[in-house]
Amino acid sequence: MCTHPDLVGRRSLGKLEHLQMLHLQPCRDGMRWVQVFDDAPLLSELVLTGSPDNFPRSLPWNQMNKFTFSGESELWTVDQILALPWELMPIHSSFFAHASMKWSAEAPGQCRAVSCRASTIELRLKIVNRSQRALGKLLSRLTFTNLSKLTLRPLYTSGNPTWCQEEFKQLRTQSMFENTLTHLTLLFVIKQTELLETLRTLPALEFLRIGDTVQPALVNIVNNDLLHTLAVPGSMLQNLREFEAEVPHGPHGISRPALSAFMTRNSILLDTPTLKATFFVEKEYERNVKQRLKTVPGCQWAVLEFSGV
C-alpha cells in the first residue's frame, strides 16, 4: 500500500522491475505522484481504496490482470461507480467492485454509459435504503463486451439488493453475452419467475450459484418447484456442469425426489453427462440435512459460514 507521495517517490523510482501488485489509498495530495509506477513491467494487479474517480490513468493498464475497488466504508453514487477504470481494463482481465451505493438524481444530459472488456466481473453491492433505482441505473449504463464470468451479490449477508429484471435485460442486450457467459453467481433477492426467465436466455452457462436470502421472512427460491423445472431435459441450462445453492436456514422446501430428479438431469444430456451440486447450509441445520437428504447420490452439502454484518 502506498499513501505518502514523497516516500514513494524517493524509494520506488527506478526499483519497480519486480512490482506485481499495488494497493493505492489516496492522500490529500491526490494521485499526481503515482507517475513513478508508469514503468512497472510486471505490475498486473491494482487495489484502489478511496474515491472511485481518483485513480491514476497513467498506469500500464494494458498489462493489468485484476482491478479491485474497495469502497465499503463510504457511500457512492452510481455516477461515481461508473467513473472507475472500466474502459481501461484489457481483454481477459478481472474487474471487482465492492461498494456501498446510494441514489442520487442526475442533471439532464448526464447519462454516462461505460463499456468494459474484462471477461470476469464481480459486483458486491450494498444499496442504502434498498433503493433499486440505483442498482437498475448502474446495470443499464454498463456494457460488457467480452464477458464470461459474472458475479452479482450483496456486500454483506444482510440487506440483499432486489433484482432489477428489466435493467438486466438491457445489460444483456447491450453486451450480447448470451452465448459467452459460462459462469453466473446471482445472490440478489429475485422471484423464481424472474430467475427462470433469466436462465432461459443464458444457454452457455456451465456454472450457476444462487441462494435464498438470509432473512427467513422473504420467499426462498431454492425449492422443489425450481429443482423440478431445472430437471426437465432440454428446457434450459443444457451445458450446466456445476450448481451451487445457498440455503442458510436449511432445505425446508426441498424433497428427496425433487433433489434426485435434479441430480440425474444430465444423465440423458450427452454433452454434460455429470453434474456436481453443492448446497450450503448454516451449521445449526447440518444435522437435519444429514438425516433427510445427504444420501442423494452426487449431491454434496457444505457448511455455510457468514461474514460481515
pLDDT tens-place string over residues 243-279: 999 887 777 778 888 888 888 876 655 455 578 888 8
- Encoded amino acid at 187, one letter: L
Answer yes or no: is 297 within a domain. yes
- For residue 295, what are the contacts with CB-CB under 8 A and spacing of at least 6? none
The CA distance from 30 to 27, in Å, is 6
Element (H, E) at 185: strand 183-186
Answer yes or no: is 89 within a domain. no
Answer yes or no: is 255 within a domain. yes
Answer yes or no: is 264 within a domain. yes
pLDDT value of position 88: 95
Answer yes or no: is 292 within a domain. yes
Work out how many domains the chain is built from and give that number. 1
191: cell is 422471484
Nearest to 243 by CA among 287, 211, 277, 284: 277
Which band of pLDDT confidence, cut at 50, 70 and 90, is reported for residue 201? very high
pTM, whole model, 2 decimals?
0.88
pLDDT value of position 284: 78
Q: Are strands 94-101 and 66-76 parallel, antiparallel or unpaired?
A: parallel
128: cell is 442504502
pLDDT value of position 87: 95
Task: Say if CB 98 and CB 69 are below 8 A apart.
Answer: yes
pLDDT value of position 135: 86
Query: Across residues 266-293, what is the average pLDDT?
Result: 73
pLDDT value of position 279: 87
- % of the chain residues with pLDDT over 90: 36
Range of the domain at 246: 220-309
Query: Across residues 300-309, what is the average pLDDT?
Result: 62
Answer yes or no: is 241 within a domain. yes
Answer yes or no: is 119 within a domain. no
The DSSP symbol for 166 reads H
At residue 89, does pLDDT exceed 50?
yes
Query: How buried is residue 272: exposed, middle or buried, by Cβ count under 10 Å (0-12/13-18/19+)?
Result: middle
pLDDT value of position 129: 65
> Over the stretch 132-190, which tens digit does the pLDDT of each residue have?
678 888 999 999 999 999 999 988 765 667 889 999 999 999 999 999 999 999 998 88
pLDDT value of position 11: 47
Answer yes or no: is 207 within a domain. no
